[in-house]
Structure 1
Amino acid sequence: MGKDVKALLEQMTLDEKIAQLLQLATFFYKGAAGEGEITGPMADMGIDEDVVTNTGSVLGASGAKEVQNIQKEHLAENRLGIPLLIMADIVHGFKTIFPVPLAIGCSWNMELAEKSAEIAAKEAAVSGIHVTFAPMVDLVRDPRWGRVMESTGEDPYLNSEFARAFVRGFQGEDLTNDLNRVAACVKHFAAYGAAEGGRDYNTVNMSERQLRESYLPAYKAALDEGCEMVMTAFNTVDGIPATGNKKLMKDLLRDEWGFDGVIISDWGAVKEQIFHGVAADEKECAQKSIEAGVDIEMMTSCYPKHLKELVESGEVNEETINESVLRILTLKEKLGLFENPYRGASEELEAEVILSEEHRKVSRELATKSCVLLKNENVLPLQKEQKIALIGPFASSGDIMGAWSWHGRQEDAVQLQAAFKTKMDASNLTFAKGSDIETITEEQIQEAVSAAEGADVIVLAVGERADMSGEAKCRADIRLPQAQLELIARMKELQKPIVTVLFNGRPLDLHGVIDRVDALLEAWYPGTEGGAAVADLLFGDANPSGKLTMSFPYSVGQVPVYYNHFNTGRPNRPDAPDHYVSKYLDIPNEPLLPFGYGLSYTSFTYSEMNLSSKTLTPSEEITASIQVTNSGEMAGEEIVQFYVRDIAGEIVRPLKELKGYKKVWLEPGETKEVSFTITEEALRYFHSNLEFTSDNGEFHAMIGPNSTELTLLSFRLEK
């Protein structure tokens, strides 16, 4: 028999209700590991012990023992015995770390993405966590923004599919009874990935039509999958900070989409309305956020300091408070916390489950699928009898897990050098650091030269430290640090084949890298099993199949650069004059590497495309099909991509839009037919009046291995 949360709400005082709307960090609570003096932080926030005793949730707790201690101490002092919700950022793994989400995106593998979230949830749950602040589904187009590593890319369709997969993985089918799952919190609502200048926390400014078409679909997909929570974004939307944006949170999220779950602010975002310039003081911050529908204020105290007086003055209706508290209590009931406040937390299970061989195996498989082969001039795969010089700051580094892996440990990560030793005779392997991440010495260079002198091939492991991408890690210069570019240049002078592996969290400007090496593997931050996965690929024990889900710019001056852009009235066509068209004078318009790009150790040949009909109607479908042949000598997986263009819309339409993809495994010489179904519904978009409908007229259907190499046929929609 579940808890009657409505009856519980009626027993609560106004002060107790308001405190439920506050989330504090672990160090405020008795029983926390390393518990210290908490009166200082309370004084800084203007709250007292009564508020802490009645808070509704805590973030940042780690481990079953600590969570159980915090919950036990809290329940001993809370008058009504209302348990805490324990929340944390479990983004791409708990202690078994998976590739960063941008890398997972490049796998185009929803099954493994879901499995990674399921494992992350299991490890988090046995450690006492109830809610994860994930998935982040922000659409990203600017690699200067540090948080692109936390997104799955630049395409709304693909992001939506991953959003659904992650929510399924975290929550499962029965959140109440499956103690190995956690509630998911989709973020950051909305359009955080469109921050101007690629600078964190910065302004977002776009039309509502663009917001609905490109940025909202992935959030909506997560909610359609049953996601329990939404986190507000730091940015403005149409001039109003999201955390106090009634049109966004109440009119759209609550009323139009029917979301009745919990909305939580990001860290400190309620009070930041003062700095945005839309609130004069904390009291106005509290009023704007509660009226917009924000249920939980994270780590500022505008609610506990001012909501009571706002209710007593009649400026805020107490029923608004009641609705927020009821949503929080309902989530606690759904998680079974009233019956079992220590839900799932178990030191014994932690020892059994966390970093298990099964979990490591999935991490390795997903990392293998997530790496993208960007260049290969007949030097990969490596031969195990070759003499190999492994050089670079990431050759023996455990810093390969990326941001938001705060429970993961570098010492648990498989380093590349150790993985190489499992693949080949150690006597044929030489090693040198070559440089640090951002500095290089002549002594390091000479050490690298000595290591490479007798080698048949040089493998360079280079990239960004994990703390060079992630939140507040925005960069205007997105090239490799100069020290590593110098290392590559000096190795090039040896005139030996060079294979380079990149460990990084964003698309980089690859000049000085891709033009100086013979093969280039984008490994991203591949997680706990990263070294093993990369070695599997380099030695041919696995065949690369990943495809980019975010374009690599030719130069930072292009950004934002993305495949599904609009045309202009003066496009830079091959038959256009040399001037007075939309182009740069000094660089190409096109990215260096486009969305959907990725090589394999084999080759795939595409036939001409076929359409089952040249006319589409609302009641009849068209099938687009193509023959794909493995024309190489190694079995492999190809990700076949399907795009559509509306030639003449009511408003300008993108040059192409991903509408589907299929993964096909082919043995050497094998051919398979790959087909896609085109429906009228798939051609709809938001018109100038925000009506979601389609246009009569001509469309292009396109199939190919990436967003630029496409076979094209035309069809017409007739309604």
Structure 2
Amino acid sequence: MKNSIFCALMFLFCGAVWSQQVKNNKAEIDAKVSELLSKMTLEEKVGQMTQITVTIFEDAKKPGYFDAAKLKQGIQDYHIGSILNVPNPGAPTLKRWQETMQAITIEANKTRLKIPVLYGIDAIHGASYTAGATLFPQQIGLAATFNTDLVKRGAAISAYETRASSIPWVFSPDLDFPRNPAWSRMWESFGEDAYLSSKMAVALVDGFEGNNNVGSKYSVASCMKHYIGYGSTTTGKDRTPSIIPERLLRQYDLTIYQAAINAGAKSVMVSSGEINGTPVHASKHLITDILKKELGFSGVVVTDWKDIIYLYTRHKVAESKRDAVRIAVMAGIDMSMVPEEFSFYTDLLDLVKKGEVPVSRIDDAVSRILKMKFELNLFQNTVADLKDYPKFGSAEHIEEAYNTAAESITLLKNNASVLPLSKNEKVLVTGATANSMKYLNGGWSYTWQGENSDTYAADKFTILEAFQNKLGKENVLYTAGADLEKEDDAEIQKAVELAKNASKIVLCLGEKNYTETPGDISDLYMSASQIKLALALAKVNKPIILVLNEGRPRLISNFEDKMSAVVQCYLPGNEGARALVDILYGDVNPSGRLPYNYPRYPNSLEKYNRKYTESISEGEQNNDAKYEKSYSPQFEFGTGLSYTTFVYSNLKIDKTEINNTDEVNVSVDVTNSGTRAGKESVLLYLSDNVASITPEFKSLKRFEKISLKPNETQTVKFTLKQKDLQFVNEDLKWISEKGSFTVQIGDQKKDFLLK
């Protein structure tokens, strides 16, 4: 007992010391920033706000290596403060990254003030632009784990391996809130729920930044993106306009950013889109008034690729590139990802000299940039000592990626318990995504579109290879069966013939590797070639296990009823195939849950937290069976089966009536009533039964993932706070209203009254 008290006191003491150190460090950094800023010329300040892509400095005759004159021009003549992206041809080794950063550092140290260059990279599911790095599931798969501890550990590993690459800044997490499942970057998000996204955002920020220890050689600065509304285009196409009332932005989107800001995120990237006719890069209201002032964000605001220029060339709200620079900087932009020229530098310099942009705005932006550089300890060191990173790509890191993939993979259907498979039976593995690493990793993997994953991850298992590794090649039949887009009747017939010799069919369908505009689609259904293969195999009358390998829910309603089982593996990364096959054979019990509604029809895209009017039809009101219900997703948000069964009971609420300051304590018993150990994500939903703004059908407010042995029971406890009862009203204020609320966990429900 004495030891426990001593430990507790030491913990409190250390916490107090750490808090004081943070305050002292902040004051010390602020003083250093002020001192350095006072020494800088206007040219040096504007240079700090300029970010250029690394390939601009390459030798035309030797891609991937610098032209010394070009690098000198950028750093010494234009004083650039930041470089981004990956050298040609992509995914350098640790040694090449070290050499690259050494060259940049040497050049920066030749400048008058020796201000280090801040290097940023799209390391969004591991150090994905470094050869040999550990690649985790993409963000949509992280959300499916409903396990923030697991996600945080993965982010810490990603930070470790990115810093090993001498890179201190990652453009992650993606906090977009997609409202259209056709959007090509849905897989980069955490799905359709704002609360789940907020919790996952905090996990990633804490993991990347080492719980506010971003100056560590094992941490990186995070960059929230894309502020704001980027994932909510009306067309579902990338970089197209959005129409979003500010009330909804505040109710959902802003809450995710607020959570990440509170966690200490050091930077934010601005959306390439426009909301209600105003490009976000041009919106002082969104960037300065809300983000910086209202939300209290004190970090760096960086543009996305070329987006200030696009105010002139695409959005048509600026009369010239120069005018676009004025608009964006006055809106609150601190750093311009120009990134292929120096026009931002020359235009901004001219704007300040002519009094069109005040020096105070420049000083604010540069102070933020310098502050982040000091916080990252870049003035002490910008190049990694590779001896400090013995765990890069290690078995320990790979095991963590495997575990994350295993917890993300989601069993959506399992008729007649066709899964798990028996190792004694012969299987046919077929489908367009069955034998390529490209489809397991998706975009932002080694290269922008991820097209070279089969080369860089040649030592990893495709789905086919994972089957062969587990069963031996003699027990696994294979043919591609279909191309992702092109129909091939001969291949289909080959698959049909092979299926006759197999006990079960594992049909792997999905999408090509993509991100951004190359991923735009006009048809949400699975491609016609793959549907044709599925329907042909169904006629063989063998059990089919459908494995979905996709970044967004491609519709399967025209053949899903013919599948015995459906498994969603999203984009699970380099270890995903091993995890998938272990799940299919029962070596791992699946525990993932859908982080979005999987739609049944392309014109029926309701979210799980729909309004009540989205859940009814005229026929339902009139008890007319011929009308189909308007809410009928293929699989609902939160769906996720297991090889065991979980029973919920004894839901308790500590108060049946509360006032507007009370908290509500909720508990529920969860029992593993099956024969296998398993993990269960316990989801608490809340319904506001009557409100002046039409209430949601239900809304996720808490979740916890637990592990239970057979016949084991655990009591799970949650606390609901007053904010959980609130919504944003027409005056853009968060309010709660008197009335009844319903708590739902599993099949258990209880009401309480706010007086």
The 1:456/1:356 distance shift into structure 2, 3 A limit, reads same
Pick from 439, 442, 450 the counterpart of residue 402 of structure 1.
442
| Cα distance in 2 for residues equivalent to 1:112 and 1:555 | 34
The 1:471/1:66 distance shift into structure 2, 3 A limit, reads farther
Counterpart amino acid of residue 341 in structure 1: T
The question of 1:74 aligning with 2:95 is answered: no
Counterpart amino acid of residue 439 in structure 1: K
Counterpart amino acid of residue 52 in structure 2: L
The 1:717/1:436 distance shift into structure 2, 3 A limit, reads same
Partner residue, 1:707 = none
Counterpart amino acid of residue 622 in structure 1: V
Partner residue, 2:64 = 34
Measured after TM superposition, the shift of residue 49 of structure 1 is: 4.8
Counterpart amino acid of residue 250 in structure 2: R
| Cα distance in 2 for residues equivalent to 1:603 and 1:212 | 38
Q: TM-score under structure 2 normalisation?
A: 0.88
Measured after TM superposition, the shift of residue 58 of structure 1 is: 0.3
1:220-269: CA deviation from partner (whole Å, max 9, x where unpaired):
11110000001110112343211121111111111112211110000011
Partner residue, 1:696 = 738
The 1:310/1:584 distance shift into structure 2, 3 A limit, reads farther
Pick from 246, 271, 287 the counterpart of residue 309 of structure 2.
271
Q: Does the CA contact (< 8 Å) of 2:616 and 2:631 recur in 1? A: no
Farther-moved stretch of structure 1 (162-171 vs 470-479): 470-479
Farther-moved stretch of structure 1 (24-33 vs 686-695): 24-33
Q: CA RMSD in A?
A: 2.6
The question of 1:299 aligning with 2:338 is answered: yes
| Cα distance in 2 for residues equivalent to 1:627 and 1:341 | 51
Partner residue, 1:65 = 98
| Residue pairs, 1:376-525, within 5 angstroms | 376-377=414-415, 378-399=417-438, 400-406=440-446, 409-467=456-514, 469-470=515-516, 472-525=518-571
1:87-115: CA deviation from partner (whole Å, max 9, x where unpaired):
00011111311111011101101011111
Counterpart amino acid of residue 346 in structure 2: K
| Cα distance in 1 for residues equivalent to 2:699 and 2:614 | 20
Q: Secondary structure at the match of 1:645?
A: strand
Q: Does the CA contact (< 8 Å) of 1:27 and 1:38 recur in 2? A: no
Counterpart amino acid of residue 313 in structure 1: K
| Cα distance in 2 for residues equivalent to 1:73 and 1:672 | 58
The 1:279/1:294 distance shift into structure 2, 3 A limit, reads same
Q: Which runs of 5+ in 1 are unaligned?
A: 705-709
Partner residue, 1:255 = 293
| Cα distance in 2 for residues equivalent to 1:331 and 1:388 | 54
Q: Does the CA contact (< 8 Å) of 1:640 and 1:661 recur in 2? A: yes
Partner residue, 2:698 = 656
Q: Which runs of 5+ in 2 are unaligned?
A: 1-27, 87-91, 128-132, 448-452
1:293-322: CA deviation from partner (whole Å, max 9, x where unpaired):
111010254531222222222221112111
The question of 1:201 aligning with 2:226 is answered: no
Q: Secondary structure at the match of 2:151?
A: helix
The question of 1:673 aligning with 2:715 is answered: yes
Q: Secondary structure at the match of 1:624?
A: strand
Measured after TM superposition, the shift of residue 452 of structure 1 is: 2.3
Counterpart amino acid of residue 64 in structure 2: G
Farther-moved stretch of structure 1 (530-539 vs 692-701): 692-701
Q: How many residues align?
A: 700
State, as a whole percentage, how many aligned pairs show the same letter: 33
Partner residue, 2:52 = 24
The 1:425/1:411 distance shift into structure 2, 3 A limit, reads closer
The 1:50/1:605 distance shift into structure 2, 3 A limit, reads closer
Counterpart amino acid of residue 724 in structure 2: A
| Cα distance in 2 for residues equivalent to 1:643 and 1:550 | 15
Measured after TM superposition, the shift of residue 184 of structure 1 is: 0.2
| Cα distance in 1 for residues equivalent to 2:567 and 2:135 | 20
| Cα distance in 1 for residues equivalent to 2:204 and 2:626 | 39
| Cα distance in 1 for residues equivalent to 2:76 and 2:105 | 17
Pick from 203, 220, 228 the counterpart of residue 165 of structure 1.
203
Q: Displaced runs of 4+ in structure 1, greater than 4 A?
A: 30-33, 36-39, 47-53, 347-350, 469-472, 583-587
Partner residue, 2:33 = 5
Q: Does the CA contact (< 8 Å) of 2:546 and 2:565 recur in 1? A: yes
Partner residue, 1:316 = 357
1:621-674: CA deviation from partner (whole Å, max 9, x where unpaired):
333333333232222122121111112223222111111122232223333333
Q: Does the CA contact (< 8 Å) of 1:29 and 1:70 recur in 2? A: no
Measured after TM superposition, the shift of residue 10 of structure 1 is: 2.2
Q: Does the CA contact (< 8 Å) of 2:177 and 2:229 recur in 1? A: yes
Q: Secondary structure at the match of 1:676?
A: strand
| Cα distance in 1 for residues equivalent to 2:222 and 2:615 | 45
Measured after TM superposition, the shift of residue 571 of structure 1 is: 4.2
1:13-48: CA deviation from partner (whole Å, max 9, x where unpaired):
211211111100002336896247799x99xxxx97
Farther-moved stretch of structure 1 (93-102 vs 604-613): 604-613
Partner residue, 2:273 = 235
Q: Does the CA contact (< 8 Å) of 2:620 and 2:627 recur in 1? A: no
| Cα distance in 2 for residues equivalent to 1:124 and 1:593 | 36
| Cα distance in 2 for residues equivalent to 1:8 and 1:167 | 28
Q: Does the CA contact (< 8 Å) of 1:30 and 1:70 recur in 2? A: no
| Cα distance in 1 for residues equivalent to 2:63 and 2:216 | 27
The 1:292/1:259 distance shift into structure 2, 3 A limit, reads same
Counterpart amino acid of residue 100 in structure 1: Q
Partner residue, 1:712 = 749
Partner residue, 2:13 = none
| Cα distance in 2 for residues equivalent to 1:545 and 1:516 | 24
Q: TM-score under structure 1 normalisation?
A: 0.92
The 1:6/1:608 distance shift into structure 2, 3 A limit, reads closer
Farther-moved stretch of structure 1 (670-679 vs 505-514): 670-679
Counterpart amino acid of residue 589 in structure 2: N
